[in-house]
Homo-oligomer: A and B are copies of this chain.
Amino acid sequence: MPVSPYIKSTMTSKSAGVIRKMFEEGLELKKKYGEDKVFDFSIGNPDLEPPEEVFQCIQKLAADRSKNCHGYMPNAGYPSVRAAMAMKTQAEQGVPVGADCVVMSVGAAGALNALFKAIISEGDKVLVSAPFFTEYRHYVKNYGGTLVEVPAREDFSLDVEALAAAMDEHTAAVLINSPNNPTGRIYSEQQIKELAGAMELHARKCGRKPYLVCDEPYRAIAYDGKTVPPVFPVYDSAVVVTSFAKNLSLPGERIGYICVNPACPDRDEVVAACIFTTRILGYVNAPAFFQRVAAETWNAKVDYSLYRERRDLIMEILDEAGIEHIVPEGAFYMWCKAPSVFKGDDMAFCDYLKKYNILSAPGSGFGGKGWIRLAYCVSKESIKNSRAAFVKAVKDLEEAK
Contact = CB atoms under 8 A, between A and B. Distances in A.
Interface of A: 1-8, 10-11, 16-17, 20, 23-24, 27, 43, 45-47, 49-50, 55, 58-59, 61-63, 65, 67-68, 70-75, 106-107, 109-114, 117-121, 135, 138-139, 142-143, 208-209, 211, 237, 249-254, 264-266, 269-270, 272-273, 276-277, 279-290
B46 A1 contact: no
Contacts of A106: 106, 254, 282-284
A244 to B, nearest CB: 10
A138 B1 contact: no
A4 B142 contact: no
B253 A4 contact: no
A72 B252 contact: yes
Contacts of A286: 254
A172 to B, nearest CB: 8
Contact of A72 (B251, B289, B290): B251
17 contacts: A1-B237, A1-B270, A3-B118, A3-B270, A7-B118, A7-B277, A10-B276, A27-B74, A47-B68, A49-B65, A59-B59, A61-B62, A70-B253, A72-B251, A111-B282, A142-B280, A251-B284
B27 A251 contact: no
Contacts of A270: 1, 3
Contacts of A17: 276, 279
A110 B73 CA distance: 17
Given A112-B282, A119-B4, A11 B273 contact: yes
A254 B269 contact: no
Contacts of A281: 113, 142, 281
Contact of A290 (B67, B68, B135, B287): B287
A118 B4 contact: yes
Nearest to A109: B282
Contacts of A45: 68, 71-72
Given A70-B252, A106-B284, A253-B287, 20 more contacts: A2-B269, A3-B119, A4-B119, A7-B276, A10-B280, A17-B279, A20-B279, A24-B74, A45-B71, A45-B72, A50-B70, A59-B59, A61-B62, A70-B250, A72-B251, A109-B284, A117-B142, A142-B280, A254-B254, A287-B290
A63 B59 contact: yes
Nearest to A291: B252
- Give the top 5 A-B pairs by smallest Cβ distance, nearest first: A252-B288, A62-B62, A109-B282, A113-B282, A138-B280
Given A119-B4, A208-B1, A55 B65 contact: yes
A141 to B, nearest CB: 8
Contacts of A290: 287, 289
A377 B55 CA distance: 33
B276 A254 contact: no
A29 B310 CA distance: 54
Contacts of A10: 276, 280
B287 A254 contact: yes
A142 B252 CA distance: 25
Contacts of A63: 59
Contacts of A251: 70-72, 284
- Identify which of A68, A142, A287 gathers the most chain B CB atoms within 10 Å of its CB: A287
A287 B287 contact: yes
Contacts of A277: 7
